[in-house]
Copies of this chain bind each other. A is one copy, B any other.
Amino acid sequence: MKAIVTIMLKDGVLDPQGKAIGHALNNLGFAQVGEVRMGKIIELELAGTDAAQAKSEAEEMARKLLANTVIESFKVEVAG
């Protein structure tokens, strides 16, 4: 199974990387760009065939290692 963990900074947490990207896009002429937020995506190849189990395992990995839950939120999707 493949689990995809998406990690974003929580709303209200300053995102300097996103700000820098927004400024760079504005400077390149993309005036329509407003707020920009940047996050991480982690694709995990998991042994096993149970989608619900894979999802709960990936959530445990996100809580224990992948995300900093003080400032980041995460979501897990499982694909075939």
Give residues in A with beta carbon < 8 Å to B: 6, 8, 18, 21, 24-25, 28, 30, 32-48, 57, 61, 64-66
Contacts and interface: CB of A to CB of B under 8 A. Distances in A.
7 contacts: A8-B43, A25-B61, A25-B65, A32-B47, A33-B44, A34-B46, A36-B43
Contacts of A40: 38-41
Given A21-B66, A24-B65, A43 B39 contact: yes
Contacts of A65: 21, 24-25, 28
A32 B57 CA distance: 9
Contacts of A21: 42, 65-66
